[in-house]
Structure 1
Amino acid sequence: MKALIIEDELPSARRLERILKDFDVEILSVLTSVKSSINWFQNNKQPDIIFLDIQLSDELCFDIFKQIDITSKIIFTTAFSNYSLKAFDYNSISYLLKPINRLKLSNAIEKVKEIHQKDIDLEKFKKLVSNFKIDNFKESFTVKVGKKIKIIEIDRISFFYSLENATYLKTSNLNYIINYSLSSLENILNPEKFFRVNRTFIVHINAIKDIIAYSNSRLKLILNSYNESEIIVSRERVKDFKNWID
């Protein structure tokens, strides 16, 4: 069986790739974005199965289906604990919540094998795609620490920040690099908990220790366990920030 992994969290993709080797699945490629996926499909024969994350580095994965007529079997891999995803659990389509359980992965692959000769109900699938909306938010991130993969729960994260074209998440005492832009994070983080205060920082509300008036009608944030640099709420975001914390 030939497979394609479309997943923007590389530690998750590599873990999935290792597990799939035990199931005699050949991985054709690992892609991280809608753009790269569309390009791949335009130049390659479709695989038997696609392991597909919902939130990719540039857009939601469903934008792929707007340009490519997918005929492969699909298993969604996602960190969104969204019960509406059960709507996708029909015929050739299944979903797995991260971190992926080996037994559930095995069951999903067996399901794909059983219906390998059946036709996909593309019209039903396209209707589901057109109506799909994420109404839950990301609950954890996977990061690579040496040779290990670590799961960071969302409430352990104090803030996200960008530095030299990379994005990091910060816990109380450690920094981890992640494969997301701040713009994409804004779409998958709970807006009740996180706020983008400027071009560089997205902060968790529980990480804020003090708020101080600053020059030019801006605000300065003092965060718990962080004093490496000043975090300033940009002037155009101050009003929304005040509404957020109110």
Structure 2
Amino acid sequence: MKVLIIEDELPSARRLERMLANFNVEVLATTVSIKESVTWLQTNTHPAIIFLDVHLSDGLSFEIFNQVKTAAKIIFTTAYSDYSIRAFDYDSISYLLKPIKLAELEKAIVKGKEKINNKNDFENLKELFANYKTKNYKDSFTVKNGSKIKIIKAEKVCCFYSYDNATFIKTNDFKGIINYSLSSLENELNPDQFFRVNRTFIVHINAIKDIVSYTNSRLQIKLNSYNESEIIVSRERVKDFKNWID
């Protein structure tokens, strides 16, 4: 079976592609925007299923289908757990909540094979999108650096950690204090990119250099640019962590 992935976060797209390999699925292409997706669909044979991120960098993904028609089955992917997203899981439409779990992906593929989208599906979805508000994750942080203010992009962060009643932000070449608790950061950060491994650390997926077994069924994480102390995935978070990095 052939599929198209429309996803503007490349780590999420790569993870989904790896997971799809378990189901004899061929990924024809990955597009990252409305414009690129429309062009691809206009110039290529359409796949059986389209995995579609709800919110792309240049707008709501439904706009794609205002410009090009398709008979492909649609499986929405989203990091937003708002209850309204569940409305997508009706009739022939499925959705997957990020980080995607293998079992849920399998169920969505089976449903996609069994159903055929029709015009009414897209008319109903258009109404849902009109009232749907997506959450914007924090993409930068301001940190006082001497007499200056430094702006750090989220993609450059290696980890956040708490120490001595303060929360630190760490990049490859900088460490500073920010006015957030780790608990508040959990709600502000993109869960595809960041994971809270224990009470003290939140790590960026691209900063992980190595993962090794540790005592009591735990895991130790080694990061590219942090070596001040051990980072241990707490026992109760190991399963979710493994799903996150898969």
The aligned residue for residue 170 of structure 2 is 174
Letter in 2 for 1:173: I
Instruction: Count residues with an aligned counterpart.
Output: 158
TM-score (ref. length: structure 1): 0.57
The aligned residue for residue 220 of structure 1 is none
| Residue ranges of structure 2 left out of the alignment (5+ in a row) | 144-149, 161-167, 173-187, 190-246
Letter in 1 for 2:117: I
Q: CA RMSD in A?
A: 3.0
Q: Structure 2 matches for 1:62-141, cutoff 5 A? A: 62-115=62-115, 119-132=116-129, 133-138=131-136
Cα distance in 2 for partners of 1:80, 1:157 equals: 20
| Secondary structure of the structure 2 residue equivalent to 1:105 | helix
Cα deviations by residue, 1:192-227 (Å, 9 ceiling, x for unpaired): x89xxxxxxxxxxxxxxxxxxxxxxxxxxxxxxxxx
Change (3 A) 1:57 1:157: closer
TM-score (ref. length: structure 2): 0.57
Q: CA deviation at 1:135?
A: 3.0
Change (3 A) 1:73 1:21: same
The aligned residue for residue 26 of structure 2 is 26
State whether residues 52 and 74 of structure 2, in contact with CA within 8 Å, keep that contact through their aligned partners in structure 1: yes
State whether residues 142 and 151 of structure 2, in contact with CA within 8 Å, keep that contact through their aligned partners in structure 1: no
Change (3 A) 1:11 1:90: same
Change (3 A) 1:65 1:130: farther
Change (3 A) 1:26 1:55: same
Change (3 A) 1:168 1:72: same
| Secondary structure of the structure 2 residue equivalent to 1:38 | helix
Change (3 A) 1:100 1:38: same
Letter in 2 for 1:129: K
Q: CA deviation at 1:56?
A: 1.2
State whether residues 38 and 68 of structure 2, in contact with CA within 8 Å, keep that contact through their aligned partners in structure 1: yes
The aligned residue for residue 214 of structure 1 is none
Q: CA deviation at 1:40?
A: 0.2
State whether residues 38 and 64 of structure 1, in contact with CA within 8 Å, keep that contact through their aligned partners in structure 2: yes
The aligned residue for residue 7 of structure 1 is 7
Q: CA deviation at 1:54?
A: 1.1
State whether residues 81 and 136 of structure 1, in contact with CA within 8 Å, keep that contact through their aligned partners in structure 2: no
| Secondary structure of the structure 1 residue equivalent to 2:95 | strand
